[in-house]
Amino acid sequence: MQPHQIVSREEWIAARKTHLDREKEFTKARDRLSEERRALPWVKVGKAYLFDGPAGKATLADLFWGRSQLVVQHFMFAPDWTEGCKSCSFWADGFERMVPHLAARDTTLVAVSRAPLAKLDAFRARMGWTFDWYSSAANDFNHDYAVSFTPDEIKSGGKIYNFGTSGFGVEEAPGISVFYRDEEGNVFHTYSCFARGLDMMNAAYHYLDLTPLGRHEQGLPYPMDWLRLRDQYQPAPGKGACGGS
């Protein structure tokens, strides 16, 4: 941690108000960016995808559950993995309780992974999640939306992730894709984001960003080395996971 001045309350308020001006600049810039995002052109989805889900076989249009907007969380879970990605699980813990609120605004949020449905259901039960999770094991959805890669693509060392701006060393990658369905039933791809573009969807990270230590990931083998699945953290001796005696 960098050294900090210890000042009077009045001095702290003055410094905080100066920083508040910078925060307001960022908020206005973010609002402008959101407007630009909503104005992006769309691509009509012409390919048929069939998923395995909680109600059986489902098309991409079925994933909307009658709503006009669909958010797909590309959850890293390869067919041969025994459990889901810990980083994607970190995000899933955050959006688990958002689903009804999004539904109230004509938006469905689902997760999609290449692992078979039985594995997804078992892991979801273990983690206590209730959101709909679909298997894309029988289709090319993950590859088409640039979150699953073939061995040859990985070996090539090319920039295959985040719109061709970076490489990726494993077969599965995280991402979010957004779709819109019109009154005639046509489905359009409107947005996708990857890498640090996913950052704003993780409320836990933003809470940490408010603290003096921040994310506190410096010096680790990689930034998220500290992260565990929620049921794998060890509580401090003599205390429960929530800090109670």
CB 180 within 8 A of CB 190: yes
Return d(Cα 206, Cα 216) in angstroms, integer: 12
Question: So what's the pLDDT on residue 240?
Answer: 56
Q: Which residue do the tokens 């890293």 mark? A: 76
CB 181 within 8 A of CB 190: no
CB 199 within 8 A of CB 211: no
Q: Tell me which of 2.130.10.10, 1.20.1260.10, 2.60.40.10, 3.40.30.10 is the CATH number of domain 43-200.
A: 3.40.30.10
Spell out the alpha helix ranges (H) of 72-229: 86-95, 99-103, 117-127, 141-144, 151-155, 203-209
- Collapsing DSSP to helix, strand or coil, 111 comes out as strand
Q: Which residue do the tokens 């469905």 mark? A: 108
Question: So what's the pLDDT on residue 235?
Answer: 75
Question: So what's the pLDDT on residue 239?
Answer: 56
What are the pLDDT tens digits along the chain (245 aa)? 678 899 999 999 999 999 999 999 999 999 999 999 999 999 999 999 999 999 999 999 999 999 999 999 999 999 999 999 999 999 999 999 999 999 999 999 999 999 999 999 999 999 999 999 999 999 999 999 999 999 999 999 999 999 999 999 999 999 999 999 999 999 999 999 999 999 999 999 999 999 999 999 999 999 999 999 999 998 744 555 554 44
Q: Which tokens sit at 177?
A: 């894709």
Query: How large is the greatest C-alpha to C-alpha distance in the chain, in angstroms?
Result: 64
